[in-house]
Structure 1
Protein backbone atom coordinates (compact mmCIF):
# COMPACT_ATOMS: atom_id res chain seq x y z
CA UNK A 1 0.00 0.00 0.00
CA UNK A 2 1.06 3.55 -0.55
CA UNK A 3 2.22 5.45 2.51
CA UNK A 4 -0.58 7.25 4.30
CA UNK A 5 -3.34 4.97 2.97
CA UNK A 6 -3.41 2.54 5.86
CA UNK A 7 -7.10 2.26 6.87
CA UNK A 8 -6.20 1.89 10.54
CA UNK A 9 -4.48 5.28 10.46
CA UNK A 10 -7.57 7.02 9.04
CA UNK A 11 -9.49 6.68 12.32
CA UNK A 12 -7.03 8.98 14.07
CA UNK A 13 -7.46 11.62 11.34
CA UNK A 14 -11.25 11.96 11.75
CA UNK A 15 -12.16 15.28 13.38
CA UNK A 16 -15.49 16.74 14.53
CA UNK A 17 -17.43 18.98 12.15
CA UNK A 18 -17.11 22.10 14.33
CA UNK A 19 -13.36 21.70 14.48
CA UNK A 20 -13.28 21.25 10.70
CA UNK A 21 -15.22 24.50 10.22
CA UNK A 22 -12.81 26.37 12.51
CA UNK A 23 -9.85 24.94 10.64
CA UNK A 24 -11.44 26.02 7.36
CA UNK A 25 -11.51 29.62 8.64
CA UNK A 26 -7.89 29.53 9.78
CA UNK A 27 -6.51 27.54 6.83
CA UNK A 28 -8.75 28.34 3.86
CA UNK A 29 -6.70 26.23 1.42
CA UNK A 30 -6.86 23.08 3.57
CA UNK A 31 -9.32 20.49 2.18
CA UNK A 32 -11.73 18.98 4.68
CA UNK A 33 -12.81 15.35 4.32
CA UNK A 34 -15.84 14.27 6.31
CA UNK A 35 -16.25 10.51 6.63
CA UNK A 36 -19.62 9.06 7.65
CA UNK A 37 -19.52 6.76 10.65
CA UNK A 38 -21.09 3.32 10.36
CA UNK A 39 -24.11 2.61 12.55
CA UNK A 40 -23.39 0.43 15.59
CA UNK A 41 -23.94 -3.30 15.32
CA UNK A 42 -26.96 -4.87 17.00
CA UNK A 43 -26.09 -6.55 20.27
CA UNK A 44 -29.14 -8.90 20.52
CA UNK A 45 -29.10 -8.60 24.32
CA UNK A 46 -32.89 -8.93 24.64
CA UNK A 47 -32.87 -12.10 22.50
CA UNK A 48 -30.00 -13.48 24.59
CA UNK A 49 -31.92 -12.87 27.80
CA UNK A 50 -35.03 -14.55 26.36
CA UNK A 51 -32.94 -17.56 25.30
CA UNK A 52 -32.14 -18.24 28.99
CA UNK A 53 -35.61 -19.76 29.31
CA UNK A 54 -34.85 -22.34 26.63
CA UNK A 55 -31.29 -23.59 27.21
CA UNK A 56 -29.15 -21.81 29.77
CA UNK A 57 -25.92 -23.51 28.69
CA UNK A 58 -26.09 -21.85 25.28
CA UNK A 59 -27.64 -18.62 26.56
CA UNK A 60 -24.69 -17.70 28.79
CA UNK A 61 -22.23 -17.32 25.87
CA UNK A 62 -24.94 -15.42 23.97
CA UNK A 63 -25.19 -12.88 26.79
CA UNK A 64 -21.41 -12.60 27.05
CA UNK A 65 -21.04 -11.94 23.32
CA UNK A 66 -23.88 -9.40 23.49
CA UNK A 67 -22.03 -7.50 26.20
CA UNK A 68 -18.80 -7.69 24.20
CA UNK A 69 -20.68 -6.28 21.20
CA UNK A 70 -21.83 -3.31 23.27
CA UNK A 71 -18.30 -2.67 24.50
CA UNK A 72 -16.85 -2.87 20.98
CA UNK A 73 -19.52 -0.45 19.72
CA UNK A 74 -18.64 2.02 22.48
CA UNK A 75 -14.95 1.77 21.64
CA UNK A 76 -15.65 2.16 17.93
CA UNK A 77 -14.22 -1.22 16.98
CA UNK A 78 -16.61 -2.04 14.14
CA UNK A 79 -14.98 -5.35 13.12
CA UNK A 80 -14.97 -6.80 16.63
CA UNK A 81 -18.56 -5.63 17.21
CA UNK A 82 -19.68 -7.33 14.00
CA UNK A 83 -18.02 -10.64 14.94
CA UNK A 84 -19.43 -10.60 18.48
CA UNK A 85 -22.87 -9.64 17.19
CA UNK A 86 -22.97 -12.65 14.87
CA UNK A 87 -21.83 -14.96 17.64
CA UNK A 88 -24.44 -13.61 20.05
CA UNK A 89 -27.16 -14.14 17.46
CA UNK A 90 -25.92 -17.66 16.67
CA UNK A 91 -25.81 -18.71 20.33
CA UNK A 92 -29.24 -17.18 21.00
CA UNK A 93 -30.87 -18.94 18.07
CA UNK A 94 -29.18 -22.25 18.87
CA UNK A 95 -30.30 -21.95 22.51
CA UNK A 96 -33.90 -21.41 21.45
CA UNK A 97 -33.78 -24.27 18.94
CA UNK A 98 -32.14 -26.76 21.31
CA UNK A 99 -34.52 -25.84 24.14
CA UNK A 100 -37.57 -26.13 21.88
CA UNK A 101 -36.44 -29.51 20.54
CA UNK A 102 -35.89 -30.78 24.09
CA UNK A 103 -39.37 -29.67 25.17
CA UNK A 104 -40.99 -31.23 22.10
CA UNK A 105 -39.09 -34.50 22.60
CA UNK A 106 -40.06 -34.69 26.27
CA UNK A 107 -43.72 -34.10 25.39
CA UNK A 108 -43.63 -36.79 22.70
CA UNK A 109 -41.96 -39.26 25.06
CA UNK A 110 -44.59 -38.67 27.79
CA UNK A 111 -47.41 -39.11 25.29
CA UNK A 112 -45.88 -42.33 24.00
CA UNK A 113 -45.38 -43.66 27.56
CA UNK A 114 -49.04 -43.13 28.43
CA UNK A 115 -50.18 -44.97 25.31
CA UNK A 116 -48.16 -48.07 26.14
Structure 2
Protein backbone atom coordinates (compact mmCIF):
# COMPACT_ATOMS: atom_id res chain seq x y z
CA UNK A 1 0.00 0.00 0.00
CA UNK A 2 1.22 3.53 -0.72
CA UNK A 3 2.48 5.39 2.40
CA UNK A 4 2.02 9.12 1.92
CA UNK A 5 3.62 9.95 5.27
CA UNK A 6 6.98 8.67 4.05
CA UNK A 7 7.15 11.48 1.48
CA UNK A 8 5.92 14.38 3.60
CA UNK A 9 8.22 17.08 4.99
CA UNK A 10 7.34 16.21 8.57
CA UNK A 11 8.37 12.55 8.24
CA UNK A 12 11.34 11.54 10.38
CA UNK A 13 14.59 10.66 8.64
CA UNK A 14 15.17 6.94 8.30
CA UNK A 15 17.66 5.60 10.78
CA UNK A 16 20.95 4.06 9.73
CA UNK A 17 20.69 0.34 8.97
CA UNK A 18 21.62 -1.81 11.89
CA UNK A 19 24.08 -4.67 11.67
CA UNK A 20 22.39 -7.95 10.84
CA UNK A 21 22.25 -10.50 13.64
CA UNK A 22 25.05 -13.05 13.64
CA UNK A 23 24.32 -16.48 12.21
CA UNK A 24 23.77 -18.86 15.07
CA UNK A 25 22.52 -22.36 15.50
CA UNK A 26 23.62 -25.84 14.50
CA UNK A 27 26.03 -25.88 11.59
CA UNK A 28 27.43 -22.40 12.26
CA UNK A 29 30.52 -21.80 14.38
CA UNK A 30 30.06 -19.84 17.59
CA UNK A 31 30.44 -16.07 17.37
CA UNK A 32 33.75 -16.08 19.28
CA UNK A 33 35.59 -18.21 16.69
CA UNK A 34 36.70 -16.87 13.34
CA UNK A 35 35.87 -13.24 13.98
CA UNK A 36 38.30 -10.56 12.88
CA UNK A 37 39.80 -7.98 15.25
CA UNK A 38 38.61 -4.40 14.57
CA UNK A 39 41.77 -3.43 12.65
CA UNK A 40 43.80 -6.10 10.96
CA UNK A 41 43.58 -9.35 9.03
CA UNK A 42 40.95 -11.91 9.94
CA UNK A 43 41.85 -14.65 12.38
CA UNK A 44 42.44 -18.16 11.15
CA UNK A 45 39.37 -20.39 11.44
CA UNK A 46 39.54 -23.05 14.13
CA UNK A 47 39.77 -26.69 13.15
CA UNK A 48 36.18 -27.60 13.86
CA UNK A 49 35.17 -31.10 12.75
CA UNK A 50 32.27 -30.97 10.32
CA UNK A 51 29.76 -33.76 10.56
CA UNK A 52 28.33 -34.68 7.19
CA UNK A 53 26.29 -37.42 5.62
CA UNK A 54 29.05 -38.25 3.14
CA UNK A 55 31.87 -40.74 3.70
CA UNK A 56 35.22 -39.34 4.81
CA UNK A 57 36.76 -39.69 1.33
CA UNK A 58 34.85 -36.71 -0.11
CA UNK A 59 36.76 -33.39 -0.11
CA UNK A 60 35.63 -30.38 1.89
CA UNK A 61 36.26 -26.87 0.62
CA UNK A 62 36.41 -23.52 2.41
CA UNK A 63 34.62 -21.02 0.23
CA UNK A 64 35.29 -17.79 2.13
CA UNK A 65 34.41 -15.64 5.08
CA UNK A 66 30.99 -14.18 5.68
CA UNK A 67 30.78 -11.55 8.42
CA UNK A 68 33.95 -12.92 9.88
CA UNK A 69 32.72 -16.52 10.05
CA UNK A 70 34.11 -19.48 8.18
CA UNK A 71 31.70 -21.51 6.08
CA UNK A 72 32.61 -25.11 5.22
CA UNK A 73 30.79 -26.85 2.38
CA UNK A 74 30.99 -30.54 1.54
CA UNK A 75 31.18 -31.11 -2.20
CA UNK A 76 29.00 -33.79 -3.73
CA UNK A 77 30.13 -36.37 -6.26
CA UNK A 78 29.23 -35.89 -9.91
CA UNK A 79 26.45 -38.17 -11.10
CA UNK A 80 26.33 -39.04 -14.77
CA UNK A 81 22.99 -40.36 -15.95
CA UNK A 82 23.02 -43.08 -18.59
CA UNK A 83 20.30 -43.81 -21.11
CA UNK A 84 16.98 -44.79 -19.59
CA UNK A 85 15.85 -48.28 -20.55
CA UNK A 86 12.25 -48.41 -21.65
CA UNK A 87 10.61 -51.79 -21.29
CA UNK A 88 7.47 -52.65 -23.19
CA UNK A 89 4.80 -54.54 -21.23
CA UNK A 90 4.79 -58.24 -22.06
CA UNK A 91 1.20 -59.09 -20.94
CA UNK A 92 2.36 -62.51 -19.73
CA UNK A 93 -0.18 -62.86 -16.91
CA UNK A 94 -2.98 -61.67 -19.19
CA UNK A 95 -1.91 -64.28 -21.76
CA UNK A 96 -1.91 -67.12 -19.23
CA UNK A 97 -5.36 -66.06 -17.96
CA UNK A 98 -6.76 -65.94 -21.50
CA UNK A 99 -5.19 -69.28 -22.36
CA UNK A 100 -6.75 -70.98 -19.33
CA UNK A 101 -10.11 -69.20 -19.08
CA UNK A 102 -11.14 -67.72 -22.43
CA UNK A 103 -9.86 -69.12 -25.70
CA UNK A 104 -7.09 -71.73 -25.62
CA UNK A 105 -5.72 -71.39 -29.17
CA UNK A 106 -5.57 -67.57 -29.24
CA UNK A 107 -4.28 -67.57 -25.64
CA UNK A 108 -1.36 -69.80 -26.70
CA UNK A 109 -0.52 -67.42 -29.56
CA UNK A 110 -0.66 -64.46 -27.14
CA UNK A 111 1.60 -66.34 -24.74
CA UNK A 112 4.18 -66.91 -27.51
CA UNK A 113 4.24 -63.19 -28.37
CA UNK A 114 4.46 -62.30 -24.67
CA UNK A 115 7.58 -64.45 -24.32
CA UNK A 116 9.06 -62.87 -27.48
CA UNK A 117 8.40 -59.43 -25.98
CA UNK A 118 10.17 -60.37 -22.77
CA UNK A 119 13.20 -61.69 -24.70
CA UNK A 120 13.38 -58.52 -26.84
CA UNK A 121 13.22 -56.38 -23.68
CA UNK A 122 16.13 -58.33 -22.19
CA UNK A 123 18.18 -57.85 -25.36
CA UNK A 124 17.36 -54.13 -25.41
CA UNK A 125 15.66 -54.27 -28.82
CA UNK A 126 12.91 -51.75 -28.22
CA UNK A 127 11.37 -51.80 -31.70
CA UNK A 128 10.94 -55.57 -31.77
CA UNK A 129 9.62 -55.53 -28.19
CA UNK A 130 7.08 -52.86 -29.14
CA UNK A 131 5.85 -54.89 -32.13
CA UNK A 132 5.53 -58.15 -30.16
CA UNK A 133 3.92 -56.34 -27.21
CA UNK A 134 1.30 -54.80 -29.48
CA UNK A 135 0.57 -58.19 -31.07
CA UNK A 136 0.29 -59.89 -27.66
CA UNK A 137 -2.07 -57.17 -26.42
CA UNK A 138 -4.27 -57.46 -29.52
CA UNK A 139 -4.44 -61.25 -29.27
CA UNK A 140 -5.25 -61.03 -25.56
CA UNK A 141 -8.14 -58.65 -26.13
CA UNK A 142 -9.46 -60.77 -29.01
CA UNK A 143 -9.24 -63.87 -26.81
CA UNK A 144 -10.97 -62.05 -23.96
CA UNK A 145 -13.73 -60.84 -26.30
CA UNK A 146 -14.29 -64.36 -27.63
CA UNK A 147 -14.36 -65.74 -24.09
CA UNK A 148 -16.90 -63.14 -22.95
CA UNK A 149 -19.04 -63.74 -26.05
CA UNK A 150 -19.00 -67.52 -25.49
CA UNK A 151 -19.89 -67.05 -21.81
CA UNK A 152 -22.81 -64.74 -22.64
CA UNK A 153 -24.03 -67.14 -25.35
CA UNK A 154 -23.81 -70.09 -22.96
CA UNK A 155 -25.74 -68.28 -20.21
CA UNK A 156 -28.40 -67.20 -22.74
CA UNK A 157 -28.69 -70.77 -24.03
CA UNK A 158 -29.07 -72.19 -20.52
CA UNK A 159 -31.76 -69.62 -19.65
CA UNK A 160 -33.57 -70.23 -22.95
CA UNK A 161 -33.36 -74.01 -22.62
CA UNK A 162 -34.65 -73.87 -19.06
CA UNK A 163 -37.62 -71.75 -20.08
CA UNK A 164 -38.41 -73.95 -23.09
CA UNK A 165 -38.10 -77.20 -21.15
CA UNK A 166 -40.31 -75.92 -18.32
CA UNK A 167 -42.91 -74.72 -20.77
CA UNK A 168 -42.89 -78.10 -22.54
CA UNK A 169 -43.30 -79.98 -19.25
CA UNK A 170 -46.03 -77.63 -18.09
CA UNK A 171 -47.93 -78.20 -21.34
CA UNK A 172 -47.48 -81.97 -21.17
CA UNK A 173 -47.84 -82.64 -17.42
CA UNK A 174 -49.56 -79.57 -16.00
CA UNK A 175 -48.33 -76.28 -14.57
CA UNK A 176 -47.09 -77.67 -11.23
CA UNK A 177 -45.00 -80.65 -12.40
CA UNK A 178 -41.32 -80.40 -11.28
CA UNK A 179 -40.46 -84.07 -11.86
Q: Scaled by the length of structure 2, what TM-score is found? A: 0.44
Correspondence list, 1:98-113, <5 A: 98-113=146-161
Stretches of structure 2 that go unaligned for 5 or more consecutive residues are 1-80, 165-179
Which residue of structure 2 lines up, in the alignment, with residue 41 of structure 1? Answer: 88
Task: Give aligned pairs, total.
Answer: 84
4+ runs deviating over 6 angstroms: none
Q: Do residues 96 (structure 1) and 144 (structure 2) align?
A: yes
Q: Scaled by the length of structure 1, what TM-score is found? A: 0.67
Deviation, 1:48, is 0.6
Greater strand percent: which structure? Answer: 2
Per-residue CA deviations over 1:11-51 (Å, capped at 9, x if unaligned) read xxxxxxxxxxxxxxxxxxxxxxx762341111010111111
Report which structure shows greater RCO (CA 8 Å, sep ≥6): 1
Which residue of structure 2 lines up, in the alignment, with residue 12 of structure 1? Answer: none
Tell me how far apart the structure 1 counterparts of residues 137 and 97 of structure 2 sit (CA, whole Å).
Answer: 12
Stretches of structure 1 that go unaligned for 5 or more consecutive residues are 1-33
Deviation, 1:67, is 0.3
CA RMSD of aligned residues (A): 1.6
Tell which structure's C-alpha radius of gyration is larger.
2
Correspondence list, 1:15-26, <5 A: none
